[in-house]
Amino acid sequence: MIIIAGFVLGAVYGVRKARKAGGKRLDLLQYGAGFGIAFSLLGLFATLLLDRLVL
């Protein structure tokens, strides 16, 4: 669940960042995908960490 939320938040953040920089449609997609992947990896590590600490 954290991974999906991380991807969505990362994609939204990436699109906003590209739009602020004046990017075109493909720039928005690339930034959204890149930040989405990066945030989902952070969510994966957070999920693993929580799983190890709780159990």
Q: What is residue 3's predicted lDDT score, i.e. its pLDDT?
A: 95
Tens of pLDDT, residue by residue over 2-48, are 999 999 999 999 999 999 999 999 999 999 999 999 999 999 999 99
Q: 14 with 33: CB under 8 angstroms?
A: yes
Helix H segments across the chain? 2-20, 25-54
For tokens 């493909």, the residue is 26
Q: What is residue 54's predicted lDDT score, i.e. its pLDDT?
A: 87
Name the DSSP class of 22.
T
CA distance 40 to 34: 10
Tens of pLDDT, residue by residue over 38-55, are 999 999 999 999 999 987
**Residue 22: left if φ>0, alpha if ψ -120 to 50, beta else—which one?**
left
